[in-house]
C-alpha cells in the first residue's frame, strides 16, 4: 500500500470516527474507488458501494472475513470464517435505476437508493427510529417532489423500493445463514460490510499510528515520511529499535 493510500485511510478514519454508518460507507468508498469524483461516489448504488468495499477488504485483509455472532436462543458465541466469494452477488443482467408504481390514480416515479442517500440519512434527524428513517429514504428516492404522499402511498413506495433493491441491486442486502453448534438453532443475520470493514479499520489504524509513534519518537521522522515507507520497512525499523 502506498503512502498516499495509507494517509487516505488515516484521514477517512479521522473524519468518520463520530459519523453515521452511511457517512462511513461513503468515506470507505472514497478509499476503495479513489478515481471516482465525489459526485460519482454519491450516486453509486448501495450494492455497487458494497461490492467495492468487499474488494477493499480483500486487498487489505484477505479473501476471508472472520465473523463473530451470538446465538439468539442460547447466546453461545459463534465464530465463522466467511469467504468473500460466497457473499458476492453477480450484477443483474438487465440493470435498472428508475421505476414507477401506481397507487390509486397516482403514479409515483422513484429510483434505487445510493451511497449518498445513506450518508444523507445518517446526517438527517430521524431520532434513531427505523420507521422514520425508512420513510425519509423513500421520500428522497422519489423522483419528483413527494411532500403530500398519503400514508398508504408512502407504505407502497417503501415496499416497492425494497422489492426493486432485491431485484436490481441484490449486493445491497446480504444475509448469512448461521447454525449454533451448542443448541442447533438456525437463524439468518444481515452482513453489513460497512460495519464489518470499519471495525477492522479501527485495529488497522491503531497499528499504523503505533508505528508512526514509535518511529517518530526514535528517529524524529515526520508522519508523511513514515507513511511513505512500505509496511515491511516500517516493521523492520521497529524491530531494529527493539523493546
Q: What is the pLDDT of residues 161-180, one digit of tens each?
A: 999 999 999 999 999 999 99
Residue 2's pLDDT is 59
Cα 79-196-182 angle, rounded to 5 deg? 20
Q: What is the pLDDT of residues 184-236, one digit of tens each?
A: 999 999 999 999 999 999 999 999 999 999 999 999 999 999 999 999 999 99
Q: For cell 450518508, name the residue.
A: 119
Reduced to 3 states (helix: H, G, I; strand: E, B; else coil), residue 160 is: helix
Instruction: Provide mean pLDDT across the span 143-163.
Output: 87
CA distance 149 to 164: 19
* Global pTM value: 0.90
Q: What is the pLDDT of residues 130-147, one digit of tens each?
A: 778 899 999 999 987 666
Residue 184 φ/ψ region, left for φ over 0, alpha for ψ in the -120 to 50 degree band, beta for the rest: left
Whole-Å CA distances, 37 to 30, 34, 43, 236: 9, 8, 10, 36
Amino acid at each position: 500500500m502506498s503512502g498516499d493510500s495509507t494517509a487516505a485511510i488515516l484521514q477517512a478514519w479521522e473524519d468518520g470516527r463520530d459519523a453515521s454508518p452511511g457517512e462511513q460507507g461513503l468515506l470507505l468508498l472514497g478509499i476503495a474507488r479513489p478515481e471516482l469524483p465525489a459526485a460519482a461516489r454519491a450516486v453509486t448504488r448501495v450494492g455497487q458501494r458494497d461490492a467495492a468495499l468487499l474488494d477493499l477488504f480483500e486487498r487489505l485483509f484477505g479473501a476471508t472475513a472472520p465473523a463473530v455472532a451470538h446465538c439468539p436462543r442460547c447466546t453461545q458465541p459463534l465464530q465463522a470464517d466467511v469467504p468473500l466469494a460466497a457473499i458476492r452477488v453477480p450484477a443483474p443482467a438487465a440493470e435498472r435505476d428508475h421505476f414507477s408504481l401506481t397507487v390509486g390514480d397516482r403514479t409515483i416515479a422513484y429510483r434505487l437508493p445510493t451511497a449518498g442517500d445513506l450518508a444523507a440519512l445518517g446526517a438527517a434527524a430521524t431520532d434513531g427510529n427505523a420507521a422514520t428513517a425508512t420513510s425519509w429514504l423513500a421520500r428522497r428516492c422519489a423522483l419528483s417532489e413527494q411532500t403530500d404522499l398519503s400514508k398508504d402511498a408512502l407504505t407502497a413506495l417503501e415496499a416497492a423500493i425494497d422489492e426493486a433493491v432485491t431485484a436490481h441491486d441484490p449486493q445491497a442486502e446480504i444475509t448469512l445463514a448461521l447454525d449454533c453448534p451448542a443448541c442447533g438453532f438456525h437463524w439468518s443475520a444481515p452482513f453489513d460490510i460497512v460495519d464489518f470493514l470499519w471495525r477492522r479499520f479501527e485495529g488497522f489504524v491503531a497499528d499504523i499510528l503505533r508505528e508512526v509513534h514509535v518511529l517518530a519518537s526514535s528517529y524524529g521522522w515526520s508522519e508523511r515520511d513514515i507513511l511513505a515507507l512500505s509496511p515491511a520497512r516500517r516493521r523492520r525499523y521497529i524491530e531494529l529499535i527493539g523493546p
